[in-house]
Amino acid sequence: MKKNKCSFCGRDEDEVPVLLNGLNGFICSDCVKQAQIVLDEITPKNKKSKLKNFSNIKPVDIKKHLDEYVIGQDEAKKSLAVAVYNHYKRISQPTDNDVDIEKSNIILVGETGTGKTLLAKTIAKFLEVPFAIVDATVLTEAGYVGEDIESLLVRLLQATDYDVEKAEQGIVFIDEIDKIARKGDNPSITRDVSGEGVQQGLLKLLEGSVVNVPPQGGRKHPEQKMIAVNTKNILFICGGAFEGIQKIIARRLNTQTVGYGMKEKNKDIDKNNFLQYIAPQDLRAFGLIPEIIGRLPVLTHLNPLDRDALRKILTEPKNALIKQYIELFKIDGIKLSFNDDALDFIVDKAIEFKLGARGLRSICEAIMLDVMFEYPSKKVKTLTIDKSFAESYFSKTELNHTLKA
């Protein structure tokens, strides 16, 4: 009896898992799989995913969500919530409207570890919009060693799987914006390619224009086809520590950061937190060019973290450090708990470290390293960490010697 064969590969029905019959021939399951692979490669991706409907989300809802992850910083949260809400309300505006609403890019100023990046990340995750973080320190003018300014849009395209329509409504967080400040007002023979040159290159992106983006990075693949990206509806959030800007603010307020001689009218100024008085002219004095300051109209600050804030960061947010360690030990079947005196010890050490919330992580990792190494092998069901336990483990670490030095 004649056996049926696959019309594509010619194998008998005994040699294939499944043989499907059609009107004039047969095809085996292996050939169907191969055909699907080929189709996936040659068919253009038309899955233009629609963004979330923002009509039901209000600034209060955005701030409420941020409260679950970030402790304090109410002013920064309000500014971010309103700016982001207005931005996506503007995008959904009918195109035939006579009034063209301009976008409001944001600049966040705050010490290291106060939550600038976390705020931007959390807001993007909540809104379910494409999000990319770019470090400004690696950017240089076109033609010089380093990354081209257009590379920050490549990160956004990668986050959307090169869906241009979706990327054009995303959020880009430019970190360490203070590191591209102008080096000084004095003219120099050498060109400032990683400072003022980058600021000038960012102008067209921040304002909104069609930018040709090399999908694989511009320098190593010069023959590649460019992707045109319109930045008109991309929200840019810039963040920086602006180390030393407190002295500039103090000078403008006609006060002194150290010493006497403060004027009578400035007695109510909080000298421990000069950032709350920041103004655009301070950014200009620091080294940002006026054109870039004008394209970042929403200026907000983050307060330095005090003892109470650091204590809350350890335990209260959804992604709190202590909750993370408890969950890690739970996987090993160990019930972990921390006493209040142990938490106070961690906070005290973090204040010595002067790294904000990042300091908390460093201290916790130093204390927990040996614990996480030893205890999964021990047959224990519960583990309580008190102050003496934390001190004994922390005293063995390199970090402890660094702090003492």
Residue 255 to residues 55, 249, 274, 395, Cα–Cα distance (Å):
46, 9, 10, 42
Label residue 280 exposed, middle or buried (CB < 10 Å: 0-12, 13-18, 19+): middle
Bridge partner residues of 173 (DSSP)? 133, 237
CATH of 307-404, one of 1.10.8.60, 3.40.1640.10, 1.10.150.20, 1.10.3720.10: 1.10.8.60
Domain 54-92+100-301 has CATH 3.40.50.300: yes
Report the C-alpha dihedral over residues 146, 152, 154, 155, rounded to 10 degrees.
110
Q: What does DSSP assign to residue 179? A: G
25: Cα within 13 Å, side-chain hemisphere: 8
Contact indicator for 80, 106 with CB cutoff of 8 Å: yes
Would you give the DSSP letter of residue 232? G
- Supply the pTM of this predicted model: 0.77
Phi first, then psi: give them for residue 190, nearest 5 degrees: -80, 150
Alpha helices in 128-220 (DSSP H): 151-159, 164-167, 196-207
- In angstroms, what CA-CA distances link 187 with 42, 190, 287? 54, 9, 14
Distance CA 103, CA 94 (A): 15
For residue 404, what pLDDT is reported? 57
Q: What pLDDT score was predicted for residue 213?
A: 86
The tokens describing 305, both together, are: 């973290």
Helix (H, G, I), strand (E, B) or coil at 249: helix
Q: Which of 239, 260, 282 is nearest to 113 (CA)?
A: 239
Residues 261, 262, 265, 266: what is their CA dihedral angle, to the nearest 10 degrees? 170
Question: Consecutive 10-residue runs of the chain (405 residues): their mean pLDDT?
Answer: 85 89 89 89 57 76 92 92 89 75 90 88 89 86 66 88 89 91 59 72 89 72 77 93 91 66 61 88 92 93 90 91 94 93 92 82 90 89 92 83 59
DSSP H or E stretch at residue 74: helix 74-91
